[in-house]
Structure 1
Amino acid sequence: MRHLIQLTCSALFFLASTTVIAYPTKPITIIVPQAPGGTNDIVGRAVAQRLGEQIKASVIVENRPGAGGNIGTQFVANGPKDGHTLLMTISSAQAINPALYKNPGFDPINDFIPIAMVGAVPNVLVVNPTFPAKNLDDFLKLVKSKPPGTYQFASAGNGTLNHLLGEMLNQSYGISLQHIPYKGVAPALNDLLGGQVQIAFASLPSVLQFINSQKLVALGVSSAKRSPVLPDVPAIAEKIPGFSGTLWIGLFAPKGTPKSVIDKLQSELQATLANPELKEKLQASGVELSNMTPAEFAKQLQEDIIRWAKIVKLSGASLD
């Protein structure tokens, strides 16, 4: 009888092991809670393609925009916990929305397990070519000399990172650019390119092509140091010490996903991000790849939640 019990336990262990090894058993869907065309969408699709090749499975990107990223994030938080529905999101949604919205509908810490930070990108202070200032020094002098509200800046919406960076610029330099919120990156860029609004902060990957084609003029980057992709464009911190705000992109699974699945996803994603072609593609678009461990990423998220909550409070931004 003891021998039979041992055999049964061994068989159950073998079946459990086989189940783990068999993951994934169906296509993996990566939910991007922002509209197509933004940084998260660009990076998410590049990573999904290589992850699918690495894990030998179909990896699909599905955009579920709305409420600043809350709709797609809630969808994953409330979805299946089997590793087949994941969240690729950005710091503005995961770290800022909990302070911005009275009820975002998710808990960024308790509803998710960090798999990996893919990388980070600066925002770029860009202007339409018709704007009179063509460099950061002239821009700061010009806007400082004009009455409040003379110039407007566009953002992808209230409380987004590019909105808060504009407010940070107002506060740190004593100016009053008027905020014009749009419903997403694409409409904001369309009006910026068309000249309906002349100033914006936008993530580097979303505007790099327009900077290179001279359809937009880059004045400064929001990272603490210059971007290797735009070495001639100064960091705003060179003129305004302490000014800094980058956008990170990370992959999450809903809390409750089995540890064995999380471990495999972390291992496979690490191998994916080491792919030379993917690294070159992401770095060329302005993404600085991360080497954080999942634990370090979790700590970074907690610190960012506290940091941005203070900035949201100072800005007075609040959404229902």
Structure 2
Amino acid sequence: MNNHTLPEWTDLRFFLELARAGTLSGASRRLEVEHTTVARRIDRLEAQLGTTLFDRSREGYELTEMGQGLLPHAEAMESAALAATEQLSGNEVSVQGVVRLGVPELFAVRVVAPLMVKMLQSHPDLSVDLLVLPRFANLANREADLGVMLDPPTTGRYMITRLATFRMQLYASPDYLAKHPPIRTQLDLARHDFVDYVQDRLASPELNYLTELGFTPRRRLCCTGMPAQIEAAAAGMGLIMAPPYAVPDDGRLVPVLTEFHAERSFWLAAPTDLYRLQRVRAVWNLLREYAEARPSLFMQTSEPVRPLRVGP
């Protein structure tokens, strides 16, 4: 490469999106261009740098060692470009742009989506891409700007805070309880059916909370996501462990053996460079303030979980 010929930032942006998506079609959707344009830009960048950045296969594009070496430099340029754009456009006082937020499925449906609707009504120039995933968002490949997760990153540069500690507690439908032996102690649970996660598809080891029962539960129906588990338990399939925010307040599920619970924590994380952006911090702060103000979403109380509203 000619020492005086530097890669164009736009080519590096194509490089970043292909590295994150892993396929031409995925990168083209994120960049809103034809997949042939992505391929052409990558070919040009490799020719300019005189090296191969991706291994091509039928499965997709995977970074070579040289590509891995370029990645942090391209991300640093992206961060500087985002920060400069935000500052120059006055976004330090007006929240503008798009924020990609990764959230577990049921938490997104019951808590975050209604909350984002209220927030967006107050910020007409802000948009949110809510990644409702059966797993936790991959912040390392910039799949999301910030994410709610059970296992925060342990390496890399991230801002991390505990969003909430929640209790997984036992619930069952009144119909199930009426047709099965009474539950007075934890030992009685061994005679009952359970609804749980598919054990070899857990998004995190933290979801393996039924091990705390002290025996191997009789799992009659397992689902990869909690929304299906809730519906199955509400239909009378068996007992379920769930946090209060996940349980509908229509009487289809009622608490069982309230002294038994498993405690877990949700963490909020964002790459340090993205956390500096005003729009990312606005979403971050709203999630924190909302979680702190509504402990009944996370710990069972005598009060039912009310319809969600932003503000007092």
The TM-score bracket by the shorter chain reads 0.5 to 0.7
User: Is structure 2 residue 259 aligned with structure 1 residue 235?
Assistant: yes
Q: Which runs of 5+ in 1 are unaligned?
A: 1-14, 96-107, 221-233, 237-242, 289-320
Q: Which amino acid aligns with 2:91?
A: A
User: 1:157 & 1:261 partners in 2: Cα distance?
Assistant: 38
User: 1:65 & 1:153 partners in 2: Cα distance?
Assistant: 24
Equivalent position of 2:155 in the other structure: 110
User: 1:64 & 1:176 partners in 2: Cα distance?
Assistant: 31
Equivalent position of 2:212 in the other structure: 168
Equivalent position of 1:3 in the other structure: none
Equivalent position of 2:128 in the other structure: 60
1:118-149 residue CA offsets vs partner (Å, 9 max, x unmatched): 323211211222223565x24x24235x5xxx
Give the superposition deviation at 1:259.
Answer: 6.3
User: Is structure 2 residue 194 aligned with structure 1 residue 153?
Assistant: yes
User: Is structure 2 residue 232 aligned with structure 1 residue 194?
Assistant: no
Larger radius of gyration between Structure 1 and Structure 2: 2
Identity of aligned residues (%): 10
Q: Which amino acid aligns with 1:219?
A: V
- Classify 1:184/1:112 alpha carbon distance in 2 versus 1 (closer, same or farther; 3 Å): farther
For the aligned residue pairs, the C-alpha RMSD in angstroms reads 3.7
Q: Contact 1:31 / 1:63 at 8 angstroms: preserved in 2?
A: yes
Q: Scaled by the length of structure 2, what TM-score is found?
A: 0.53
Q: Equivalences for 1:54-133 in 2 at 5 Å? A: 57-66=125-134, 69-70=135-136, 73-74=137-138, 76-79=139-142, 85-91=144-150, 94=151, 108-111=153-156, 113-129=158-174, 130-131=176-177, 132=180
Q: Contact 1:157 / 1:181 at 8 angstroms: preserved in 2?
A: yes
- Classify 1:133/1:56 alpha carbon distance in 2 versus 1 (closer, same or farther; 3 Å): farther
Equivalent position of 1:285 in the other structure: 297
1:2-38 residue CA offsets vs partner (Å, 9 max, x unmatched): xxxxxxxxxxxxx799349525552222122x33xx1
Q: Contact 1:20 / 1:260 at 8 angstroms: preserved in 2?
A: no
Aligned counterpart in structure 1 of residue 253 of structure 2, from 216, 227, 237: 216
Q: Which amino acid aligns with 2:131?
A: N
Question: Secondary structure at 2:241's aligned position in 1?
Answer: strand
Q: Which runs of 5+ in 2 are unaligned?
A: 1-83, 301-312
Equivalent position of 2:33 in the other structure: none
Equivalent position of 2:244 in the other structure: 204
User: Is structure 2 residue 55 aligned with structure 1 residue 31?
Assistant: no
Question: Secondary structure at 1:110's aligned position in 2?
Answer: coil
Q: Contact 1:123 / 1:202 at 8 angstroms: preserved in 2?
A: yes
Q: Contact 2:102 / 2:132 at 8 angstroms: preserved in 1?
A: yes
